[in-house]
Amino acid sequence: MSKELAKTYDPKGLEDRLYQKWVDNGYFHAKVNPDKKPFTIVMPPPNVTGQLHMGHALDNTMQDILIRYKRMQGYEALWQPGTDHAAIATEVKVTNMLKEKGIDKHEIGRDAFMKYAWEWKEEYGSRIINQLKKLGASADWERERFTMDEGCSEAVEEVFVKLYKKGWIYKGSRIINWCPVCQTSLSDAEVEHEDQDGFFWHINYPVVGEEGRFVEIATTRPETLLGDTAVAVNPTDERYTDIVGKMLKLPLTDREIPVIADEYVDKEFGTGCVKITPAHDPNDFEVGKRHNLAEINILNDDATINELGGKYAGMDRYEARKAMVKDLDELGLLVKVVPHSHAVGTHDRCHTTVEPMVKPQWFVKMSDMAKASIKALEDGELTFVPERFDKTYLHWLENIKDWCISRQLWWGHRIPAYYCDDCGEMVVNKGGAPEKCPKCGCTHFKQDEDSLDTWFSSALWPFSTLGWPHNTPEMNYFYPTDVLVTGYDIIFFWVIRMVFSGLEQTGKAPFHHVLIHGLVRDSQGRKMSKSLGNGIDPLEVIDKYGADALRLTLMTGNAPGNDMRFYWERVESSRNFANKIWNASRFIMMNLEKAEVPQDMPADQLTQADKWILSKVNSLAKDVTENMDKFELGIAVQKVYDFIWEEFCDWYIEMVKPRLYNDEDTTKAAALWTLKTVLGNALKLLHPFMPFVTEEIFCTLNPQEESIMISAWPEYTGSWNFEADETAVETIKEAVRAIRNVRTGMNVPPSKKAKVYVVSENEAVRNIFENGKVFFATLGYASEVLIQANKAGIADDAVSAVIHEAVIYMPFAELVDIEKEIERLKKEEQRLTKELARVNGMLSNEKFVSKAPAAKIEEEKGKLAKYTDMMAQVKERLAQLCK
């Protein structure tokens, strides 16, 4: 064999080299191939601003495992990669970069800003892609896409115009989430609700014309009082029946507002009277619509009070709150202030408290598309793994509101709506401004300043990346995609939007399966975050232990939908596993060099051990394939791990060593053929999980093979089903384990050989042990193996171990040098006598007991119990030996 494995496994030396080999040979590239079945995964596009974190590492490792598995199974496997323009995140980065250069984005204007943004994207946008390559991601980089490339941008315009013409996209004034720092609207999915400590301010609103009569309301946001247009009570609340229809003097203003009756009010909560601020609360907005109330917006975009706020105009919302509470108190209208913890909406990007605000924005009507998305799940066109996430999906769709899609940002897809300069007519048009105004014939237009929510373009990702809206060969062949892999924290954001977009634009759900994984938490179970400083950089792990070790760690114990904890010790053990395979492979290859190994080996030339391990790897291929098809990746890799470490390395290699070292052994060729064959298959089953180490070993073991990546996935074969031989070897293994347990329990060193008797009345069992005698010398440290039907000739003091249908005996005198053991035990007896005297002395000393800390006393009591137990064992052993 010309090529050799290096003495030690060094991932740094081989991972970059092998990755480059795969890229150079085009193994990741998928083509439209009518002779093959397609298998497609679309990569959730990471943000161009992003860098690899553990969530990305887990998500992309799982996708890579599935794509490598299907590629080996003979599918035309496409893993479609790309990045997302990440509107808010990128705009913030570019704005900050310009600030550092002393440039104000508003002074340079939109076009100049966009030029800087594209330059930033070109410089930093590929960083996360290069990091994914370090992980071993075998995505089709030749097809890499970006959500603002020409093709994706065309798809966005196409969808916008189609939905607008259908009446499903409209512009209207509705209540939206507004971020005062980023100064843009947000969708509900971008608002995180966190519990914050606040207050309920109880305020009296005077009843007009009834001196001394008040209505008491309680609010967590007193500053919004300036926008109140009513106070609501429940129509069945007898306390307030007489007040409905009356007017109240709105404190701190010169306005009067009505008392209205609406079932929205909970009689049991607070005072039963609720201030209604339609422009600043989503529930109040709906109440306002029912009662034709005015919508008074009292905030500027930066959350300062606007000109409608009278003396408070220009103040920040919280500054105004303090001033208004002080004024209410001075007017005698502040009843009380009660501490109150409640959920507050914050922007998931900048963590600013979001303000609900009525603003003219663009919306997508959701009711019809939501119904179609629910039907896709009910009809089985779409399935979640695990199934419990059906509920999350359905809950969100059943409660969906119209989607606010406009953002007050420059970086992103600009809304294709144009306003006539002369008459103000609005035209929605694909491919730029219309030639002339359909109303007045004018040829000058101004485009809408807003851009689209980032999720609008990523909702089209599974088909826009394949060339839609054009009827491309890729679209016809690779769509719908097979599986989407994503975290449970993103179901609403993205999965649902892709489903309704796919169904509406293509008539098909964009993927058959959604495989949901959990979060990677730290070793204490906490979510990794910047604020806690407990994030672990996957690149640091790769640098220290290699990508294979990180990938195996992320998949060990991994179950769909469940969170996992990251332990450095686990990465070390994954690296040790790679070392184990490496060293075992080197041992096998060194022996292969010494003999000619045939291409094939007839079954009648194989020994029982050979058939056992072949049968085992055969069943493994079947089991792992079943697990992979059910997306049980953690179970699959555990089976491969256990097989390689235990069955193959710890048992089979040890079993065949005597045959390899004996030049006269006629079964040596069969042993070598079996070693090479089983190692090759085990490496293939491990390859999707640990691509680098398996590639290096496989191609060294099989120089004629180009790459393990394009080799065939092992399939179960009836000709390797050796059930009887499996049973036989498992029986021998059970006996060896029993022998080892006895010897360990008696502290017998491996160098001390002993005679082994196997007693069984069952002839078939005796035959198994006759055929397996050779294993006992190496595995059971036997000097001689005697197999018999009864106990004849076995000394009474022989140590025994019972296994299924047989008893193993070992002469006591051969295991232990009795004189030496008595001498050792007597020394131990003397030591324990001293220890017991010391502990008893301390515990019977009143001074010690009264002054020592409780923990110290407990510690000494624990020692007393331990030494007493040890002494009893030593005395019992001595009594046996002295007989």
The strand pair at 481-487 and 451-452 is best described as unpaired
The strand pair at 782-788 and 256-261 is best described as unpaired
Residues in the chain, overall count = 883
- Binding-site annotation, residues: 530
Q: Residue 369 is encoded by which pair of tokens?
A: 């598309």
Radius of gyration of the chain from Cα atoms?
Answer: 37
Measuring CA to CA, how many Å separate 92 from each of 119, 124, 786? Answer: 15, 14, 80
**Where is 336: in which H helix or E strand?**
strand 334-347
Please give the Cα distance from 711 to 694 (Å, whole number). 12
Please give the Cα distance from 459 to 213 (Å, whole number). 55
Is the separation of the CB atoms in 483 and 491 below 8 Å? no
Please give the Cα distance from 484 to 514 (Å, whole number). 5
Please give the Cα distance from 81 to 138 (Å, whole number). 10
Please give the Cα distance from 388 to 480 (Å, whole number). 23
- Binding-site annotation, residues for ATP: 530
End-to-end CA distance of the chain: 61
Is the separation of the CB atoms in 772 and 728 below 8 Å? yes
Please give the Cα distance from 675 to 589 (Å, whole number). 9
Is the separation of the CB atoms in 453 and 415 below 8 Å? no
Provide the CA 251 distance to its chain's centre, in angstroms.
52
Determine the 3-state secondary structure of 400 from DSSP: coil
Q: Residue 371 is encoded by which pair of tokens?
A: 């119904």
- Per-residue HEC secondary structure of 164-206 comes to HHCCCEEEEEEEEEEECCCCEEECHHHEEEEEEEEEEEEEEEE
Is the separation of the CB atoms in 572 and 545 below 8 Å? yes
Cross-strand pairs, 174: 359
Is the separation of the CB atoms in 521 and 566 below 8 Å? yes
Q: Residue 145 is encoded by which pair of tokens?
A: 């896409």
- The residue written with tokens 């690899």 in the block is 52
Exposed (0-12), middle (13-18) or buried (19+): which is 435, by Cβ within 10 Å?
A: exposed
Question: Taking the alpha carbons of 271, 273, 275, 280 in that order, is the dihedral positive or negative?
Answer: positive
Exposed (0-12), middle (13-18) or buried (19+): which is 840, by Cβ within 10 Å?
A: middle
Whether the bond into 469 is cis, omega within 30 of 0: yes
